[in-house]
Amino acid sequence: MSNFRSGVVAIVGRPNVGKSTLVNALVGQKIAIVSDKPQTTRRDLRAIWTTDAVQVVFTDTPGFHKPRTLLGARLNDRVGDAVAGVDVVLHVVDAAAGIGRGDTFVYERQVVSAGSPRICVVNKVDAVRGRDEVRQLALAQEIGDYDEIVPVSARDGKGIGLLRELVVERMPAGPALYPLAESTDQPLDVRLAELVREQALSVTHQEVPHSIAVVVEEIEREGELTKVHATVVVERDSQKGIVIGKGGRTLGRIGARAREHMELMLGTKVYLDLRVKVVKEWQRDPKALERLGF
């Protein structure tokens, strides 16, 4: 282990540029939940990639944005905390949606202030072709002073190997930061709660996804069966009705999909008990945010 290297990489960007998909691609397994809804990531999750020679801790962060709620402000604070003292910052931009002022905002507020080597990751190049890809790479170069600009598709794996190599080159010598077998620092209850929230995001629309939080209340292990008791939190009675659905069908869909992912993660059969609770305007209530882990 005398030649071992290790370090921390912060992954930042505006909402919905594909940061979580990129994290999963870089570590080669699903650690972060993924959806097409902005602000899916609410926690600075750490995904750990370890080989015989290096350990890289990738920190997935919430999308940096102009906040409209107390929750939004706290998510932005988490981005600032995540970039402090890291070895590399990956600034992810979206080639498909187009690179613009929001990306410059993130660069000026978070990337430059980190003072670390910085790589611009131009994601979703699978959705653009030819001259448009070249144009997006040129726009990325105009944002600021990067050590590297790398086109990738986190979805299909294009450019991921090269990006890993560039990150590894910048890792300092040092021992592993986490036990070699660990893939994330997330507690089990949080990982299970996020699996439920991922499925709730996939079946709800309009303002409802932003108002959903999930808390795992209890985990019971009985031989080859794991019982998970969880609460889906929303802000209004109307949202509760949408999440439950007619005859409980929507909540049943959420539970069935989440249970499949839980069984893959845990390696056991899962009994998932899901309930829905209204906490009025929890995104703006400091005490509610504390209870929900924000």
Condensed to tens digits (0 to 9), the pLDDT of residues 52-79 reads: 999 999 988 765 555 566 665 665 555 5
Between β-strands 118-123 and 269-278, what pairing exists: parallel, antiparallel or unpaired?
Answer: unpaired
Confidence of residue 250 (pLDDT cuts 50, 70, 90): very high
Q: Is 206 a residue whose pLDDT tops 80?
A: no
Q: Is 239 a residue whose pLDDT tops 90?
A: yes
Q: Is 40 a residue whose pLDDT tops 80?
A: no
With pLDDT > 90 as the criterion, what percentage of the chain qualifies? 67
The full set of domain ranges for the chain reads 5-169, 188-291
Task: Round to whole Å and give the CA distance between 109 and 79.
Answer: 10
Confidence of residue 253 (pLDDT cuts 50, 70, 90): very high
Average pLDDT for 5-29: 93
Task: Round to whole Å and give the CA distance between 270 and 230.
Answer: 12
Average pLDDT for 92-115: 91
Instruction: Using a cut of 0.75, tell me whether the model's pTM lies above it.
Output: yes
Condensed to tens digits (0 to 9), the pLDDT of residues 143-156 reads: 999 999 999 999 99
Q: Specify the higher pLDDT residue, 165 or 61.
A: 165
Question: Per CATH, the architecture of 5-169 is what?
Answer: 3-Layer(aba) Sandwich (3.40)
Where b means 16+ CB within 10 Å and e means fewer, 187-209 reads eebbbbbbbbbbbbbbbbeeebb
CA dihedral 282, 287, 291, 293 (to 10 degrees): 80
**Homologous superfamily (CATH) for 188-291:** K homology (KH) domain (3.30.300.20)
Between β-strands 148-151 and 118-123, what pairing exists: parallel, antiparallel or unpaired?
Answer: parallel
Please report the pLDDT score of residue 196 as a whole number. Answer: 95
